[in-house]
Structure 1
C-alpha cells in the first residue's frame, strides 16, 4: 500500500510571534502582506506591504509603551475581523504583552467575566457600543486602566503618543520575548458553563502553523504565485488566530472582511479572489444551499442535483484510487464530470473568486457527503481537528492520501490516542499551558502529559481520526440507550430547508430534535410552491407541505442510525438560534444546555403530545414512538 511522505520538519522557534513579521519585512519589504477594503461595497482592495505593516506595528508598540503597557500584562481586543486587529495584535506581541480576544457582540456579563478573570489592564473596542458595554462594568475591574476605541481614532492617537519613545526600545522588548511566554489567553467557547481562559504560548501558536507551512504551504497557490486568504471568521476564536499566524508567518496575502453576512462575504470573495479558502462546516453548508437555491431560481435545479451527485461519485472514485482500493473514475463518469465542469462546476468556483482549489474546514466535523461534493467540483476541503486548548489544529489530511469523512492524521510532533471510553487524548508542543486562575480545571484536563479533549472519536488502522461527538453531549434515554447526536444533526442540516438541529432525549423514552429553518431557503421554497386559493387555505396547504418536507429530512437522517437511535419526535422552532440570544457561541457552536433550558416547555410538550394513554414499561417504550411527531411551533 502507498504510504504518504512525512512533511518536512518546521524550523525551531527562537522568539515570539512578532518576529516573523519583522523578518519578512527585512527580507521582502515590498511583499503585499495585508489587504482591506476602504468600503464594504468597494471592489478594490488596498494592499499593505510587509514593511508598511511593520512600521505601523512599531508605531503602535511605541504608543503602548508610552501608555504604560508592560511585558506580561494583558490587553483585550474586542473587535471584528478587521485590519486593525492584526496590526494591534502584533504590536502587543512586540512589547511582550498578552492578547485576550473577546467576541465583539459578547453580552455584558461575559465581557465583565473575561476582563476580570484575565486581569486585563486595557481593552480595545470597535465603537461606541463597545465603550458603553465596558463602561457599564468598569467599577468591578480594578486592574483596567485604558479603554481605546478604534472608530474614534485610537490607533492614530496611540501612534502619536509614542513618538517620543525610541524605536530601538521596541526591538529590545521584542527580542526578550521567549517562545514559551504566554502570547494569548483565549477563552473557551462556553458551550456549557462559564468560559475558561486558556494560556497559549508563542511556541504553541506558531508550532502548528510552521508544520502546516512546511508540509502543505505549497498547496496554497499555483507555483510562482503568492497565496492569498480572505480572513472572515472571528479572531476571537483560536481558529481565526491560527489563520492569521499562518498568513503572516507564511507570507500569504491576508484580506480582512469583518462582515459575515452572505451577501457581503460573497462580494468579498469575488473581488479579493483568494487562492485558498477556510471555513467552518456551517459556512460550507450555507454555500452549498446557496448554490442549490440559485440553480432552482434559474430553473436549473434538476441539472444542479445531477451535477452534485456526479461530483460526489467522481470524488469518491478518486479517493478509492489514491487510497489503493479502486481504479478511479470510469470512462462514463469522466465524461459526465467533464460535461458538468463546463456547464456547472466552473461557475460554482467563480462564486468563490475563481482561484480557490483547496480549502480547510475546522470548528466541527464536516460531513463526508459535503466534502466529496466540494472535491468533485474542484475544491478539495482538508477537514482538520483542533481546539482552543491545542492552540488550533492538531491533524491534517496527508497530501495524496486524503480521506473524506475523517479529520486526517496527527501533525508531525503531535500524538493522538483514543481512551477506552472513546475520548480523544492529545499530547504535543501546541497543548496549552493551563487554564488561567483555575488549577483544578487544569489538572482535570491534563492527565500525565495528555490533554483530555472531551471529544469522542476513533482511529482507523492507518491512523486517520474520525470525530463522533462530544463526551458531554451524549444522550442517554430512559431506556438506557446512549446516542451521540452529532451525526444525526449533521445529516439533518444537509437538507436545504434545515438551518440548525439539536438532538435531545436525556431521560426521555426516545430521541427527539429541535429544528430551525433556513430563512432564505424557506422564502425561496415558499415562492416555488406557488399555491393557489385564499390565504387561510393556502397557509394550511403550505404548512402541510412543509411538515412533509421536514419529515422526509428526518427520515433521511434516521436511515444512517439504528431504530433505537432514530428521531421519533421533533419540533420546528419559529426562529434560528443566534449568538445574540445566547444560544450559539461566537464560533457558531450550539450552547446545548442553554437551548434545552430555553425550550424546556416546548420539549416537554413535544413528548407529551406523543404519549400513549396506557402505561408502558421501559422495555416496550420504543414501540410507542413509531411515528415521528411533526408539530410546528409558532
Structure 2
C-alpha cells in the first residue's frame, strides 16, 4: 500500500484510491495474515487472567461468527446493532458483521430505552446483539412499546457468539468470500450515532474508504507509536464512541496488541499486568491518576514532596520546549523527583508506556507538561464523529502542548471569519442517516462546519477554544468561551463537573458538582471528618478550597471573563440523570433548564461566595 503525504494544511499529494485496501475487512485480514502466529489481542477470563488470541485465531473466530450471522438470515446491507461494553466479543462481532456484508450499528451500553428505540428505528436494526440479560431486557422493552423494527435480541453473556459460530458450520467458505467481495470503498461501513449534546443523536454514515484512507494517514503520522517494538495498549474506552472504534481498527491493522478491559474499575490492575506502551484515555482518566497520587501522598504525610516533584516534572517539560533545554540543576532535581515520586506513577500505568493519546475534551497545559515530565508524552488530538473521530493529532516528533496538533493526511482545514473550524477531506462522513436537512446545514460549499472555534499556528497546529453554540455573551458584550474555565476548574481533585453560565448577564458564574468518589479520600487527607456530598457542598472550608480552584482559573483570563461567584449543586451530573451524554459530555441546555432557579438566584442575590 502506498502512503499519502500532506502539507501542514492536510493537502494530499494525490494517492490513487486503488492503492488502498478495498475494505476494512481486507485491511484487517491482511494484518492478521501477517501476524498469524503473533498475539494480537488479549481478554480477561473469569479470574482476570489474560487469554491470548493470535492473528490466525482472531481471523478464524470472525469468519465463524460471520457465517453464523449469514445462517441466521443476515443479508448484505442489513443493519445489526451491538449493545455492549468494550470487550473482545465486541470486536469479533464488529468485523464479523462487516464480513457478512452487513453494517454494524453501535449502541452505548448506558443508553436508555428511548435512546435504544431511536437508534434501532432510525437505522432499521432488526437484529441486536446485547452484552447482558439486562441490556437485552432494555432493548426488548423499548421495541415492545414502539414501532421499532427490532425482531431479535441475542445475548453475549448467554453464549450468543459461540452459538453463532456453531450455527455457521454449514455455511461454505465460498458464501462468506462472496459476501466479503461485495464490499468496496463506497460500501457503508457503519452508522455511528453522535452523543446528542443538543438533541437527538444523529446517525453519521461512514464508508469503508473513509476508514482505510484514514488509517493509512494515521500509520504514516504515528509510526513510532503504532510500530514500536512490543507495542500494546489496554482498550477500555467504549467502542460505541467513534474515537475508540477508529482506534480499534487502526491498532488491529498495525499489529499492536489490544488488551480489552470491559470494567474500567479494573483498569489499573489491567495496565500493571499488561505493561502497555500506549495509554489511550480521556482527560478525566489522566486527572484521576494525578489526583489519586496526590491524595495518597497527602494521606501518607508526603504531599509537599509530591507537589515539589510534580513541579520539577512540569518545569522539566517546559524546558524541553526552549532552545537551551533543561539546565544541569533542573536535570538533577528532576532525577531526584523521578526517584521519589514520578517513577511510582509510571508503575501505576504499567511501567512501560512512553506514549499516550488523549481526546474528546481538552487535557490542559498543566497535565500535559506533568505527564511529559514523568516520561509519558501525551499526544492530544481532536475530531468529531463526522470527521471519523480524529481530524488532528500531535505528532511523536513534535508535540505542542496546549494544541490538538496538525491535521491528519487527507484533511484540509480552514478557519472562518468568526473563528469556526472548517474541514474537508476524503475520510469525512458521507451524510447524516435519514437527515438531509442536517447534512445540508453541516456541509456548505464542500466544507464541513465543525461548530468549534479555533486557531492555527504557522505549522498548522490547531488550538480549540470552545463550541460556537456555547459562547457566552455577557450583558457588557464580552464573548466568553466557557470550556477554557470549566476544564481548569474540573482538574481540581474535589470537582466532578463545572458549567459556566452568564449569557446576557452582568457577570460570569459557575455551577459546580463535587466528585462523590474522590470526596471520602480527600476529606481524610485533609484531616476533615467524613461527610456526605450535600454536607460538603455547604461546608465553609470546602467552599474556600473550591474558591481557590476558581481563583487559579480566573488568573488565566481577563476580569470580564472571570467567574465572580459559584453554586455547588446537590447532585452530580451523570448519564443516568440525563445531564451527561454517553461519552460524558455535559448536556449544557439540559443543565441550564434543570437549574434555572439556581441560576436566577445567582443574579438576584445581593451577596455571593466569589
* Range class of TM-score, shorter chain: over 0.9
2:143–2:149 Cα contact (<8 Å) kept: no
Alpha-carbon shift at residue 142 of structure 1 (Å): 5.0
Alpha-carbon shift at residue 221 of structure 1 (Å): 6.3
Given the alignment of the two structures, is residue 13 of structure 1 paired with residue 15 of structure 2, yes or no?
no
1:69 corresponds to which of 50, 65, 74 = 74
1:485–1:503 Cα contact (<8 Å) kept: yes
Relative to structure 2, which stretch is displaced further, 601-610 or 46-55? 601-610
* DSSP 3-state at the match of 1:112: helix
CA distance in structure 1 between the aligned counterparts of 2:510 and 2:312, rounded to whole angstroms: 31
2:64–2:169 Cα contact (<8 Å) kept: yes
2:272–2:347 Cα contact (<8 Å) kept: yes
1:26 corresponds to which of 22, 29, 33 = 33
Give the corresponding residue for 2:4: none
Give the corresponding residue for 1:480: 477
Given the alignment of the two structures, is residue 602 of structure 1 paired with residue 598 of structure 2, yes or no?
yes
Give the corresponding residue for 2:434: 437
Q: Which runs of 5+ in 2 are unaligned?
A: 1-6
CA distance in structure 1 between the aligned counterparts of 2:148 and 2:539, rounded to whole angstroms: 55
Relative to structure 2, which stretch is displaced further, 602-611 or 192-201? 602-611
Alpha-carbon shift at residue 9 of structure 1 (Å): 9.9
CA distance in structure 2 between the aligned counterparts of 1:266 and 1:9, rounded to whole angstroms: 44
Given the alignment of the two structures, is residue 454 of structure 1 paired with residue 437 of structure 2, yes or no?
no
Cα deviation, 1:398-440, whole Å, max 9, x if unaligned, reads 3332210001111122111110001001111111000000101
Give the corresponding residue for 1:313: 315
Q: Which runs of 5+ in 1 are unaligned?
A: 321-325, 612-627
Aligned length: 597
CA distance in structure 2 between the aligned counterparts of 1:520 and 1:64, rounded to whole angstroms: 42
TM-score by length of 1: 0.90
Cα deviation, 1:3-59, whole Å, max 9, x if unaligned, reads 99x9999993231111223223333311111110103x53x2111011111111111
Give the corresponding residue for 1:281: 283
2:103 corresponds to which of 82, 98, 102 = 98
CA distance in structure 1 between the aligned counterparts of 2:374 and 2:559, rounded to whole angstroms: 35
Give the corresponding residue for 1:577: 573
Cα deviation, 1:150-172, whole Å, max 9, x if unaligned, reads 11111122122222110221112
Given the alignment of the two structures, is residue 510 of structure 1 paired with residue 507 of structure 2, yes or no?
yes
Give the corresponding residue for 2:143: 138
2:98–2:189 Cα contact (<8 Å) kept: yes
CA distance in structure 2 between the aligned counterparts of 1:209 and 1:583, rounded to whole angstroms: 34
1:48 corresponds to which of 53, 60, 63 = 53
Cα deviation, 1:537-571, whole Å, max 9, x if unaligned, reads xx899912111111111111111111111111211
Alpha-carbon shift at residue 481 of structure 1 (Å): 2.2
Alpha-carbon shift at residue 520 of structure 1 (Å): 3.6
CA distance in structure 2 between the aligned counterparts of 1:9 and 1:288, rounded to whole angstroms: 44
TM-score by length of 2: 0.94
1:290 corresponds to which of 289, 292, 296 = 292
CA distance in structure 2 between the aligned counterparts of 1:560 and 1:21, rounded to whole angstroms: 46
1:211 corresponds to which of 212, 217, 220 = 217
Report the aligned-residue RMSD. Answer: 2.3
1:407 corresponds to which of 384, 389, 404 = 404
CA distance in structure 1 between the aligned counterparts of 2:523 and 2:343, rounded to whole angstroms: 29
CA distance in structure 2 between the aligned counterparts of 1:144 and 1:430, rounded to whole angstroms: 30
* DSSP 3-state at the match of 2:487: helix
